[in-house]
Amino acid sequence: MPGSPGLGSAARKLFRIYALLTPDRLTAHYVGQTADALHRRLEDHLRRPGHSKKADWIRAVRESGDAPQIVLLEEFTGYRQQAYERETYWIRRLRAQGHPLKNVP
């Protein structure tokens, strides 16, 4: 029935595609997507960087006395699969522009 909440409508969320930048060069080093507020996502990256090229970059920036910055690239209401597709679009676009992204290909 049109307008009825169903499985599809329940999965629709506000998604944000973002980039992590080095503040002094404004160079993108990571692209991600989240349904959380950007400041929460950045805090999560800083608190628990993990073990990856992105994590190594975050540690290096922090050890230099600085912190990565987060910037919104795109925001939309949709489904998780669309968020993955838009994230992939931004990764390809920024790589084509020469940004040294740490995302796994």
Q: What are 42-68's pLDDT values in tens digits?
A: 999 999 989 999 999 999 999 999 999
User: Is 27 inside any structural domain?
Assistant: yes
User: Is 88 inside any structural domain?
Assistant: yes
Q: What is the pLDDT of residue 10?
A: 57
For residue 1, count other CB atoms closer than 10 A to its CB: 5
pLDDT tens digits along 13-28: 999 999 999 988 789 9
How far is residue 21's CA from residue 56's CA, in Å, rounded to a whole number?
14
Residue 2: band (very low, low, confident or very high) from pLDDT cuts 50, 70, 90:
very low
Q: Which domain holds residue 77?
A: 12-96
Amino acid residing at 93: R
Domain CATH number, residue 86: 3.40.1440
User: Is 51 inside any structural domain?
Assistant: yes
Smallest CA-to-CA distance from 46 within 27, 31, 26, 66 is with: 66
Residues 6 or more apart whose CB falls under 8 angstroms from that of 66 comprise 22, 23, 24
Domain count, the chain: 1
User: Is 28 inside any structural domain?
Assistant: yes
User: Is 7 inside any structural domain?
Assistant: no
User: Is 35 inside any structural domain?
Assistant: yes
